Chains A and B, each alone.
Chain A
Amino acid sequence: MSAPVTIIMIEDDEGHAKLIERNIRRSGVNNEIKPFTTGTEAVNYLFGADGNGLPHKGESLLILLDLNLPDMTGIDILRRMKENRILKCAPVVVLTTTDDSQEIKRCYDLGCSVYITKPVNYDSFANAIRQLGLFFSIIQVPQATP
């Protein structure tokens, strides 16, 4: 693995973002985490000015995606990523409050790698995120190449 994996965290709630980051760090993951609080910012970063995702060619990205964003739904971002030939192999972890079975099915249909519901109970939440961090530390993330 040439380049270290960058974790892109798309999460509108800064409190959640903080809690997620903290718990990922506690699990021993030290990769760079880039937080985005709006869908537009995240899309601009991911797909670049041309909207083709070329800036990230050769990088290894892992996406943490919330579905309920103020300016767009995470599902749109997921769909666009899976349609992009550069970004389509980056693993996407959907991390959201929705536990509706329809939503879950839709996300897997679109090609998300993992779907996690944020538990309200903090112990469960922290536990889930730490396990996710452990998961991150063992999975292989491909380089974004066409």
Chain B
Amino acid sequence: MRGPSLFRPEHDAIRVPPTGSSRTALGQLILLTAGLVVLTLISAISIYFVNKARHDARWVLHSMKVENEISLTQLQMQRAETAQRSFLLTQHPEFRAAFEEAAGQILPGFERLEKLTIDNSYQRQRLQQIVPLNNQRIERLRRGIDLALTNQLDEAVENARREAGRDEMRHIRDLGNEMRAEESRLLAARTASADASQSFSALITAIGSGLIVLFAGLSIYLVRRSSRERDLANAQLRDINLNLESTVEKRTSDLREANDEIQRFAYIVSHDLRSPLVNIMGFTSELEDLRGNIFRRIAELSRPDGLPPPAMDDSARVAKPTLEGPDEQLSQDFTEALGFIKSSIAKMDRLIGAILSLTREGRREFHPSAIATRDLIESIVSTVAHQAAEANAQIRVEPLPDIVSDRIAIEQIFSNLIDNALKYLKSDGPGDIAIRGQRKLGFVIFEITDNGRGIDPKDHQRIFDLFRRAGPQDRPGQGIGLAHVRALVRRLGGTISVSSELNKGTTFTVTLPAAWMGTNRDEQT
């Protein structure tokens, strides 16, 4: 007999795929974070440099304005001087007007310059020198014009000639040029700075873009690697699942085989036990006949010689020979021994018969069908109505939920339980048996309650065992019913339990799946 070995290490060694994926995920997270940081940095730096460039451009513009203003002012000074000379030469009044116009524009020019160079001490210094010099010069030029108007032309020309040779004039020019030079230097510096920030910004952008591209590449690589790993793990998982399924299948079939083996074993054993039993019973009966013959012979032989032998036709006397004293005792002992043998054989035959019917029940295929539970139980109750009336008991069937299950099995379960309830009622007072049911979470829970003699709690487990009974043994039975019921309930995927107290009654609770699909053993051929 090939027994099912339940523990097979080669199937239990289910390997878990290496967990490198978490490391990859961490790497990806770091990469993403780094990418984000770099992007933010580049954006910040770019914004900074754009602002700086704008700032630099403003300053470049500023320098150019200053330069322009200096040039303009110098030009006006030039114009004023030219107009004065022209007036001295021609005395045309329009030249005087031109002089006044040019001279009037010089001061505002200086004022603008002053405003523009408010932050530059070097330029301010120059400006502070140039403004009084210029004012003095304009004054002298105006005085020349005034002299010309008052017909002192010669003196005016002389003044002008002297004027041309004065350092003051050169000094003003030099100062102006210095300012221009300074502003040019500033312009160059500012332009360079603006260029520098722009190229630096470009560099940073380039480096940042390169880094991001690098990170993206790495990220793609990591994602591809992890997806490859995942595919691998999936494949492994599929394999393991298949393996598991086949393991389960194998074990199920092993168990089924073992179960079948047990069924066959029980069947064969009980069967083969019957054969010798027939012999024992048969020859015991033969012995009984022999006993009759022997004791008749003894009776005949022990008869006093004086009496005539019994007439052969007197069958009554032949059948009933009279024995005396010790012979009578011997005959009774013989009968008693044979009686014990026969009753034991009868009992053994009943037990074997019970095992046979149980194994036959175990071999029967179950077929699920929709059952109107209440009708089924009502019909069981009607078959035991006579017994119930004899026991002075009433059976109440409450509304019961319908169920999908094996009809014969359900019938056997309930008729056994109802039968038991009727069998073990109390002798005093009327019996009351109730059958209730309710549906709960895909299961149907039935309760068979009686007010009978009850079962001692220490026997609650025992009563479900084969050939075991509890309480006073005053009712016929083999101790098979509940074992049978439990086997049936289990095959139907349910459970059975008992709650009981001596002299208080018993409740059997049967829980069955509301819709049993017959997955039990129907697939076997």
Verify A19–B283 contact, CB threshold 8 A.
yes
B interface majority secondary structure = helix
B202 at the interface (CB under 8 A from A): no
Measured CA separation A123–B285 after assembly (Å): 8
Measured CA separation A125–B349 after assembly (Å): 14
Which residues of chain B from 261 to 317 have a CB within 8 Å of any chain A CB? 271-272, 274-279, 281-286
Q: Which residues of the partner chain A approach B345 to less than 8 Å between Cβ atoms?
A: 120
Verify B275–A125 contact, CB threshold 8 A.
no
Which residues of chain A from 7 to 30 have a CB within 8 Å of any chain B CB? 13, 15-16, 19, 22
Measured CA separation A68–B282 after assembly (Å): 19
* Contact with B284, one of A16, A98, A100, A122 (Cβ below 8 angstroms): A122
Q: Which residues of the partner chain A approach B274 to less than 8 Å between Cβ atoms?
A: 97, 118, 120
Q: Which residues of the partner chain A approach B285 to less than 8 Å between Cβ atoms?
A: 122-123, 126
Which residues of chain A from 99 to 138 have a CB within 8 Å of any chain B CB? 100, 118-123, 125-126
Verify A19–B272 contact, CB threshold 8 A.
no
How many A-B pairs with Cβ below 8 Å? 52
* Contact with B271, one of A15, A98, A125 (Cβ below 8 angstroms): A98
B376 at the interface (CB under 8 A from A): no
Measured CA separation A125–B275 after assembly (Å): 12
A100-B360, A122-B284, A123-B285 known; A16 vs B271 contact (CB < 8 Å): no
Verify A15–B283 contact, CB threshold 8 A.
yes
Q: Which residues of the partner chain A approach B282 to less than 8 Å between Cβ atoms?
A: 15-16, 19, 122, 125-126
A35 to chain B: closest CB distance in Å? 15
Verify A16–B360 contact, CB threshold 8 A.
no
Closest partner residue, chain A, to B274 (CB atom): A97
A19-B282, A122-B284 known; A13 vs B275 contact (CB < 8 Å): yes
* Contact with B279, one of A16, A22, A68, A126 (Cβ below 8 angstroms): A16
B346 at the interface (CB under 8 A from A): yes
Verify A15–B360 contact, CB threshold 8 A.
no
B487 to chain A: closest CB distance in Å? 19
Verify A97–B275 contact, CB threshold 8 A.
yes
Closest partner residue, chain A, to B281 (CB atom): A122
A138 to chain B: closest CB distance in Å? 25
Verify A16–B281 contact, CB threshold 8 A.
no
A20 to chain B: closest CB distance in Å? 9
Size category, B interface? 10 to 19
Measured CA separation A15–B286 after assembly (Å): 12
Measured CA separation A118–B282 after assembly (Å): 11
Measured CA separation A123–B272 after assembly (Å): 21
Measured CA separation A122–B345 after assembly (Å): 11
Interface-central residue, A15, A22, A98, A122, by most chain B CB under 10 Å: A122
Measured CA separation A119–B360 after assembly (Å): 19
Q: Which residues of the partner chain A approach B346 to less than 8 Å between Cβ atoms?
A: 120-121
Verify A120–B278 contact, CB threshold 8 A.
yes
Verify A13–B279 contact, CB threshold 8 A.
yes
Q: Which residues of the partner chain B approach A126 to less than 8 Å between Cβ atoms?
A: 282, 285
A68-B271, A98-B271, A120-B349 known; A125 vs B283 contact (CB < 8 Å): no
Measured CA separation A97–B274 after assembly (Å): 7
Closest partner residue, chain A, to B352 (CB atom): A120
* Contact with A125, one of B276, B278, B360 (Cβ below 8 angstroms): B278
Verify B278–A16 contact, CB threshold 8 A.
yes
B20 to chain A: closest CB distance in Å? 61
A120-B345, A122-B284 known; A19 vs B279 contact (CB < 8 Å): yes
* Contact with A68, one of B275, B281, B283 (Cβ below 8 angstroms): B275
Q: Which residues of the partner chain A approach B272 to less than 8 Å between Cβ atoms?
A: 68
- Against B, the Cβ 8 Å flags (1 = close, 0 = not) of A72-104 are 000000000000000000000000011010000
A-B contact pairs, 17 of them (CB 8 A): A13-B275, A13-B278, A13-B279, A15-B282, A16-B279, A16-B282, A68-B271, A97-B275, A98-B271, A100-B360, A120-B281, A120-B349, A122-B278, A123-B285, A125-B278, A125-B282, A126-B285
Other contacts beyond A16-B275, A100-B360, A120-B349: 17, CB < 8 A? A15-B279, A16-B278, A19-B278, A19-B279, A19-B286, A22-B286, A68-B275, A97-B271, A97-B275, A98-B271, A118-B274, A118-B278, A119-B278, A120-B277, A121-B349, A122-B284, A122-B285
Closest 8 CB pairs of A and B: A15-B279, A122-B285, A19-B282, A120-B349, A122-B281, A97-B274, A122-B282, A120-B277
